[in-house]
């Protein structure tokens, strides 16, 4: 059996999305910036996609800017806020995605901002009292905290964080890449200036995403070279990617309740089976359904001489999982997220992440293989 449990890294393309993209690949090939009929036809498709995304997120189309993915969107939100609004202070956490963490580090190194890091508990939850103390009486501040952590799945209360930011006049950016398409985002209620999405996290194509910019916090041009994206992002648009993104998000909202129930059931089953069959197993992050991204489960297995080979052994048994953030694959520095929550450095964290295509028999197979690999440690 081949099992793909690395959906937090990327998800398989939904066939319905592929069908929506095909005409833009084969028949509608005009440049959307051209004024002739071929170009106008394609431009219409982009704007239809923009309206669809805005409708699903309960916002207005002019707030949606298509990008190459979540990383570009995060970089843009942070850098443009510094440039446009003179942000001097960024509050973030030690466990943000590196698209945020490394951008903040670079802005600090360039002498443009100072950074503060909010306290976290052992499960990765933000200490809201500490956050308020950091933002209070600090003008020209931006808070950048993700909705759900991509490695451990712990959810932040971005509604409460948004309220706090608004109360103190701070900008609020949230990396919502892992939750986009998995939870409903109502941007008329959420007090966020910037949120982001990446299509390949919810069964859309790779290489396309979006940045939502609150109309009350407009930003300037962030890529030079042309008048695309309403004079903000130069470069010919990834048209079939944009159409695929909108279709994937439409499907995700259509299937959201069913998807969440199915995937949460698989995650709960794996938790219970591992507790029963692997003495000493532990879980990184909050695993309570109300506090945890239902697609992600991060597991620490008992200390074992083959721990360093566990991912390899899973792979040769046909199981694809991750040792942490997919963006760190190949690095030997370990997981900055597990370090940030002070997890045991001697116990490797394995991230299993699920999708609507995952099956119960796959969960059963993976647990059985883990037990087999770890024997005799679990006997």
Mean pLDDT by 10 residues, the chain (379 residues): 97 98 96 95 97 98 98 98 97 97 98 97 97 93 98 98 98 98 97 98 98 96 92 95 98 98 98 96 96 97 74 95 57 79 84 98 97 73
Residue 379 CB-density burial (10 A; 0-12 exposed, 13-18 middle, 19+ buried): exposed
Pick the catalytic residue: 108, 129, 316, 327?
327
How high is the pLDDT of residue 374? 87
Please indicate whether residue 327 is annotated as part of the active site: yes
Cα distance between residue 162 and residue 194, in whole Å: 11
Domain architecture of the chain: domains with CATH: 3-11+256-374 (3.90.1150.10), 15-254 (3.40.640.10)
Q: Radius of gyration (Cα) for the chain, nearest Å?
A: 21
How high is the pLDDT of residue 245? 98
318 C-beta neighbours (distance < 10 Å), count: 13
34 C-beta neighbours (distance < 10 Å), count: 13
How high is the pLDDT of residue 131? 98
**Cα within 13 Å of Cα(87), Cβ side:** 28
CB 351 within 8 A of CB 322: yes
**Angle CA 306–308–314, to nearest 5:** 75
Cα distance between residue 113 and residue 129, in whole Å: 23
375 C-beta neighbours (distance < 10 Å), count: 10
Cα distance between residue 332 and residue 231, in whole Å: 41
């Amino acid at each position: 059996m081949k099992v793909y449990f690395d959906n937090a890294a990327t998800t398989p393309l939904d066939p319905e999305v592929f069908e929506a993209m095909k005409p833009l690949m084969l028949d509608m090939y005009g440049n959307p910036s051209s004024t002739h009929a071929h170009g106008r036809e394609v431009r219409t498709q982009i704007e239809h996609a923009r309206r669809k995304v805005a409708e699903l997120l309960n916002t207005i189309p002019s707030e949606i800017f298509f990008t190459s993915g979540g990383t570009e969107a995060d970089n843009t939100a942070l850098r443009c806020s510094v440039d446009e609004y003179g942000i001097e202070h960024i509050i973030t956490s030690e466990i943000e995605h590196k698209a945020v963490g490394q951008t903040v580090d670079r802005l600090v190194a360039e002498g443009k901002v100072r950074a503060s890091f909010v306290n976290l508990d052992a499960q990765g939850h933000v200490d809201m009292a500490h956050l308020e103390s950091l933002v209070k009486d600090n003008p020209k501040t931006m808070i950048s905290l993700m909705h759900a952590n991509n490695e451990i799945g712990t959810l932040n209360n971005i509604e409460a964080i948004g309220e706090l930011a608004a109360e103190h006049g701070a900008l609020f950016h949230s990396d919502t890449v892992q939750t986009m398409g998995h939870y409903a985002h109502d941007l008329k209620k959420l007090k966020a200036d910037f949120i982001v999405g990446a299509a390949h996290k919810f069964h859309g194509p790779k290489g396309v995403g979006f940045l939502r910019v609150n109309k009350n916090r407009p930003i300037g041009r962030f890529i030079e070279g042309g008048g695309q994206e309403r004079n903000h992002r130069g470069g010919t648009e990834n048209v079939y990617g944009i159409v695929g993104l909108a279709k994937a998000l439409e499907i995700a909202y259509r299937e959201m309740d069913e998807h969440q129930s199915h995937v949460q059931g698989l995650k709960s089953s794996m938790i219970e089976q591992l507790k029963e069959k692997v003495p000493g197993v532990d879980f990184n992050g909050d695993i309570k359904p109300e506090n945890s991204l239902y697609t992600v489960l991060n597991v620490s297995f008992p200390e074992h001489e083959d721990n360093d080979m566990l991912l390899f052994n899973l792979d040769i048994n046909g199981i694809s999982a991750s040792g942490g953030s997919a963006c760190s694959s190949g690095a030997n520095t370990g997981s900055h997220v597990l370090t940030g929550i002070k997890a045991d450095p001697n116990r490797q964290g394995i991230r299993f992440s699920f999708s609507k295509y995952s099956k119960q028999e796959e969960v059963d197979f993976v647990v059985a293989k883990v037990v087999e690999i770890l024997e005799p440690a679990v006997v």
